[in-house]
Amino acid sequence: MSLHESFGQPLLTFPDAEKSPLSIRAKALVFVDPRSRQLRQELEQLAPRSISVLIRGETGSGKELLARHIHRASDRSGLFVSVNCGAISPTYADAELFGYAAGTFSGSASSRAGWFGSANGGTLYLDEIGDLPLPIQIKLLSALENHEVTRVGAHQPSPVDVRLVAATSIDLAQAVAAGKFHERLYHYLGEGHLELPALRERVGDILSLAEYFLGIYSQRLDLPVPLISEAAQQVLEQHSWPGNTRELENVIHFALLVSSGEEILPEHLNLPPQLSRLELVDQQLKGLIADGSAAELQALKHLLKQHGVI
């Protein structure tokens, strides 16, 4: 099982992590690049506070890892409960999130606390919170403001103490403007905000993360740890990583399995060749000429100047 296949598990952990010397590196590797170190400072300022936090970042960039850091750095003794909002059943979303009383559903002899109740005293992490149905967003806001939930089929509310850390890969302000996200919930989440840069924007993290994944998979597969050649390092740093950290993990896992020597070489990475600056300009030039508008031709002149062509 790869690190991200198990739902609810942080990307940078593995069984018995605390017993392994690699676990120390796992906690630091995300914060090597200057932008990441700045992010860590912001995270450590937010963690001890009781306010909700909204993490925005591209898919696969490690938002849940940041949420777990927040939980670990807080003084909350309860569980960290991770929920993918896109996987919640629209029909039973209320019961899944807030729980239900015994006998509410056919065959339900006992009550269930739901995700919210399970996180009592701890942290509830809602990934892609924009996928929550609007009626559930309203109930979520009420639960957060009033510190209580009413389970489906129950007559009395139950007190809860939950800190919410939510994540999104979209601009929720635009979703609010489109009427797809509850405005008051958006402002409630805005008390604490973290922007997680894409992996291509924190190049200093790439090699450290690659070495970490290489160490993890070598340990898991009982294989010697190969070095990442200089040429392969350059390829890794130049790749745009549209799949972010998750893509890097898969690339390193693959490279470990197909390499036969003591080094990971560029051909083991199975990444597309990088375009040269001239090839990149040529590619963009063809697109601009095909459209041919005055604004785009003006953009073309700016692009050529930027690359020193004119």
CATH number, domain at 219?
A: 1.10.8.60
Query: Please, what is the Cα angle at 244 between 242 and 246, to 5 degrees?
Result: 120
Q: Are residues 207 and 184 in the same domain?
A: no
Number of structural domains in the chain: 3
Q: Is residue 17 part of a domain?
A: no
Q: Which residues contact 245 (CB under 8 A, 6 or more apart)?
A: 11, 60, 61, 62, 199, 209
Is residue 302's pLDDT more than 60?
A: yes
Alpha helices in the chain (DSSP H): 22-28, 34-46, 63-73, 93-98, 114-118, 134-146, 172-177, 183-189, 206-221, 230-238, 244-258, 266-269, 277-291, 294-306
Q: How confident is the model at residue 25 (pLDDT cuts 50, 70, 90)?
A: very low
Q: Which of 140-144, 151-155, 236-240 shows the lowest mean pLDDT across its residues?
A: 151-155
Is residue 67's pLDDT more than 90?
A: yes
Is residue 298's pLDDT more than 90?
A: no
Q: Is residue 9 part of a domain?
A: no
**Mean pLDDT confidence for 44-57:** 94
HSE-up of residue 115 (Cα within 13 Å, Cβ side): 23
CB 169 within 8 A of CB 128: yes
**Mean pLDDT confidence for 160-186:** 95
What span, in angstroms and rounded, lies between the C-alpha atoms of 180 and 278? 43
| CA distance from start to end of the chain | 52
Category of 128 on φ-ψ map: left (φ > 0), alpha (ψ -120 to 50) or beta: left
Is residue 213's pLDDT more than 50?
A: yes
Q: How confident is the model at residue 289 (pLDDT cuts 50, 70, 90)?
A: low
Is residue 163's pLDDT more than 90?
A: yes
Is residue 244's pLDDT more than 90?
A: yes
Q: Is residue 150 part of a domain?
A: yes
Is residue 19's pLDDT more than 50?
A: no
Against a cut of 0.85, is the pTM above it? Answer: no
Q: Are residues 180 and 39 in the same domain?
A: yes
Q: Are residues 242 and 219 in the same domain?
A: yes
Q: Which of 101-115, 141-155, 173-187, 211-225 shows the lowest mean pLDDT across its residues?
A: 101-115
Percent of the chain with pLDDT over 90: 54
Q: Is residue 22 part of a domain?
A: no
Q: Are residues 122 and 242 in the same domain?
A: no
Q: Are residues 191 and 206 in the same domain?
A: no
Q: Give 167 or 7, the one with higher predicted confidence.
A: 167
Q: Are residues 176 and 210 in the same domain?
A: no
Q: Is residue 16 part of a domain?
A: no
84: helix, strand or coil? strand
Q: Are residues 51 and 91 in the same domain?
A: yes
Structural domain including 295 reads 277-306
**Mean pLDDT confidence for 100-116:** 69
Only one residue has tokens 């639960």, namely 143
Is residue 103's pLDDT more than 70?
A: no
Q: Among 157, 175, 195, identify where a domain stops.
A: 195
Q: Are residues 41 and 181 in the same domain?
A: yes
Q: Among 146, 176, 195, identify where a domain stops.
A: 195
